[in-house]
Chain A
Amino acid sequence: MTAITDSALQAAPATKARGYWATVGRRIVRDKVSIACALVLLAIFLSALLAPWLGLADPYQGSMIRRLRPIGTPNYPLGSDELGRDMLARLIYGGRLSLLIGISPVIFAFIIGTSLGIVAGYVGGKLNTAIMRTIDVFFAFPSVLLAIAISGALGAGIVNSIVSLTVVFVPQITRVAESVTTGVRNMDFVDAARASGAGALTIMRVHILGNVLGPIFVYSTGLISVSMILAAGLSFLGLGTKPPEPEWGLMLNTLRTAIYVNPWVAALPGTMIFAVSICFNLLSDGLRSAMDIRN
C-alpha cells in the first residue's frame, strides 16, 4: 500500500481501470468518420422531430400553379413537387415516417431475435433445434422477396410494412444471437453461476445478456441501413405509406412521372434515404472496429 505514493504506479491502474465500454466510447469519439455520420444523423433526426417548430411551409399545402418549381425558386428553396407542395418541408417532415418505418423493424427484431437466440443458445437441445430449424425456413427466401411477399399479402400500410420487415430481420438477428450465446454458455463463469444455484432465467438475464448484447447490437445497427432502403422501397412500390403523407420512398414514387419536367427535384427524396443509409453503415462499421479491442 505504500506504493500508492509512487506517482508512476498510481498512473498505471488509472488507465487500466477504464472499463470496456469507456474504451469503446473513447475510440469511437476519435473516429472522425463515425462522428461526422453521427452528426448528420442527429441533424436529420432533430429536424424531423422538431419540424413543426422550424418555420417550414405546410407540407400538405399544394398549389396547382406552382407545380414542379426548380431548386432555388424564391420561397421554394428545394423546389416544389408534382402537386406544388414545398419540397424542403416535405423532405424534413418526411423524415418522421421514413425513419420510423425504417428503424422500428430493426428495434423490434432486435428484441425478438435476441430473446429467441439467447433462449435457443442457452437451453439448447430440442428447443434449439425447433427454433433454429424454423428460422432456417426464412433463410430460404431472399430478404427482399420475403418482405414483399408478406406486405403484399397483408396489403399496403405502415403497420404491415413494419411487420413484414421485422419478420425479415428476426431470423438474421436470432442466428447471430444464438451463435454468440452458444459461445458464452460453456464459459467458466456460467458454470460457476449454475453451481452457485442460479436459475436459468437469472443466468440468461445476468450472465449471458451482458456478454452477448454487444455483438448483437453491432450486427443490428448494420441492418438499419438495409431496413431504411427496404422500408422506403416498400413505400416506393405503394406497399407502405399512403398519399398525401410525406415519406421519402412514396415521394420518389409520385415524383417519378416528373423526371422529364424537373428531374433533379424528383431525385431529391432518394438523397435523403441514401444519406441516412450510408451514415448508419459507416457508423456501424466504426462501432464494430471500436469494439474490436484486439486491434
Chain B
Amino acid sequence: MLAYVARRFVYAIPIVLSVALVCFLLVHITPGDPLVAVLPADASQELAAQLRTAYGFDRPLPVQFGLWLWKAIHGDLGNSIATGRPVLSEVLRAVSNTVTLAIAAAAIGFTLGLFFGLLAGYFRDTWIDKVATSIAIAGVSLPHYWLGMVLVIIFSVQLNWLPAVGAGPGGSGEWKWNWEHMSYLVLPAITTSVIPMGIVTRTVRALTGDILSQDFVEALRAKGLQEWHVFRHVIKNAAPTALAVMGLQLGYMLGGSILIETVFSWPGSGLLLNSAIFQRDLPLLQGTILVLALFFVFLNLMVDIAQASIDPRIKRS
C-alpha cells in the first residue's frame, strides 16, 4: 500500500508542474499588456517601462516562469493588483468559504444521489426507477445558476423565508455555526447539490444494475442469502467507483463554484475569481486558479488512494 501511495505521489509531480505552467501561461495569452489594469490611461512610456521592470514582465518567458514557480513553491503568489494584499492569503480565506459550501452541498447531493441511485438500480424498469432517473436527468440538465435564481425568487422574494445573498448577517464573511448563519447556506448549498445529485444517481443506478445482473449475485441468492445480505455485496462492489465519482464531483464543486457564488454573492473562491477577471487583476486570477487546480489534483490523488485501499484489484494493476 505504501509503495502504491508513494508511486501515486510521484506521478502527481509532472501534473502539478504542468498545471503551474498552464496557470503561468494564462496571463500571457491575455491580449494586450498585463499591466493595463494598473496603468493610468495617460501613463507615460517611461512609467510603463518602469512598472514592467518592477513586475519582471521584461524578462524572457522561461526565466519569468522559473522565478514565478520558485516563489510559488515558497508560498508567494505575488500581490493582488487591486488590493495590494498577498494573493495567497486572499485565496485561502475565500477557499475556506467555498469548502463550507461544497461540503454542505456534498452532504445533500451525495445522500440523495446514493439513495435514488440504489433505489433505481434495485427496482430497474419500474415506476420507482422512472421517477429517480427523471430527477437525475433534470438535475444534470438544470442550468444551476438559473435554479439559484428561481430558489431566491421562491424562498427569498415570495416567501421571505431565507436570505437571498451573502454569507452571514451584515455581509460578514465570518462563519459561525448557528441558524442565523446557516440560513445563508441553505439556498446556495441546495443549488450546488443538484448536479452531483444527478450524476451520482446515474452512476450508482448503472453500477447497481450491472452488479445485480452478475452471476455471483445469483449464486448468493441460490445459497439462500437474505436480500439484505445481497444488498451488502452490492454496496461493497459499487463502493470504489461510486467513491471515485463522488470525489471528482466534490472537486468540481470546489473548482466550479463561480456561477453559484456569483448568484448568491457567496464570498468564496468563485466570487474572488469573478472580481479578479473583471478588475483584470492577473496575479489574483492566476493565483486563484492555481490554488483551485492544485486542490483538485490533490483531491484526485486522495480519491485514488482511498479507492485502492478499499479495492485490492486497483493496487495490483
Contact = CB atoms under 8 A, between A and B. Distances in A.
Nearest to A136: B15
A274 B252 contact: no
Interface residues of B, number: 48
A233 B15 contact: no
Interface stretch (A69-77, A193-201, A278-286): A278-286
A62 interface: no
A27 interface: no
Contacts of B273: 148, 152
Contact of A152 (B144, B251, B252, B277): B277
A140 B19 contact: yes
Secondary structure type dominating chain A contacts = helix
Given A141-B293, A238-B278, A260-B157, A273 B146 contact: yes
B212 to A, nearest CB: 16
A142 interface: yes
Contacts of B147: 270
A290 B146 CA distance: 32
A282 B139 CA distance: 12
Contact of A277 (B141, B157, B274, B297): B141
Given A145-B255, A154-B30, A267-B150, A259 B141 contact: no
A42 interface: no
B277 A239 contact: yes
A270 B29 contact: no
Interface in B79-101: none
Interface string B234-261: 0000000000000000011011101100
Contacts of A282: 137
A136 B18 CA distance: 10
Given A142-B296, A285-B137, A270 B146 contact: yes
Given A144-B252, A260-B157, A282-B137, A237 B149 contact: no
Interface string B290-304: 001100110010000
B143 A273 contact: yes
Secondary structure type dominating chain B contacts = helix
Q: Which of A136, A264, A274 has the most CB of B within 10 A?
A: A274
Interface size of A as a range: 35 or more
Interface in B258-273: 258-259, 262-263, 273
B247 to A, nearest CB: 12
A123 to B, nearest CB: 22
A237 B260 CA distance: 10
Contacts of B276: 152
B149 A256 contact: yes
A89 to B, nearest CB: 20
A44 interface: no
A225 B138 CA distance: 11
Interface in B10-32: 14-15, 18-19, 22-23, 26-27, 29-31
A155 interface: yes
Contacts of A149: 23, 26, 285, 289
Contacts of B31: 154-155
B115 to A, nearest CB: 21
B178 interface: no
A218 interface: no
A290 to B, nearest CB: 17
A232 B143 contact: yes
B158 interface: yes
Nearest to B198: A281
B292 A144 contact: no
Interface in B106-151: 137-138, 140-147, 149-150
B56 to A, nearest CB: 19
B152 A259 contact: yes
Q: Which of A148, A225, A237 has the most CB of B within 10 A?
A: A148
A270 B150 contact: yes
Contact of A137 (B18, B146, B251, B254): B18
Contacts of A137: 15, 18-19, 22
B141 A225 contact: yes
Interface in A127-185: 133, 136-137, 140-145, 148-150, 152-155
A229 interface: yes
B220 interface: no
Given A141-B293, A144-B259, A236-B259, A266 B15 contact: no
Given A154-B30, A233-B145, A256-B149, A263 B292 contact: no
Contacts of A264: 153
B30 A142 contact: no
Interface of A: 133, 136-137, 140-145, 148-150, 152-155, 225, 229, 232-233, 236-239, 252, 256, 259-260, 263-264, 266-267, 269-271, 273-274, 277-278, 281-282, 285
- Closest A-B pairs by Cβ, 7 of them: A270-B146, A144-B256, A142-B255, A278-B141, A152-B277, A145-B255, A263-B153
15 contacts: A140-B297, A141-B296, A142-B255, A144-B258, A145-B255, A149-B26, A154-B29, A155-B31, A236-B259, A256-B149, A263-B158, A267-B149, A277-B141, A277-B142, A278-B138
Given A141-B296, A153-B285, A277-B142, 12 more contacts: A143-B256, A144-B252, A144-B255, A145-B289, A152-B276, A153-B29, A237-B262, A259-B153, A263-B153, A266-B153, A278-B137, A281-B137
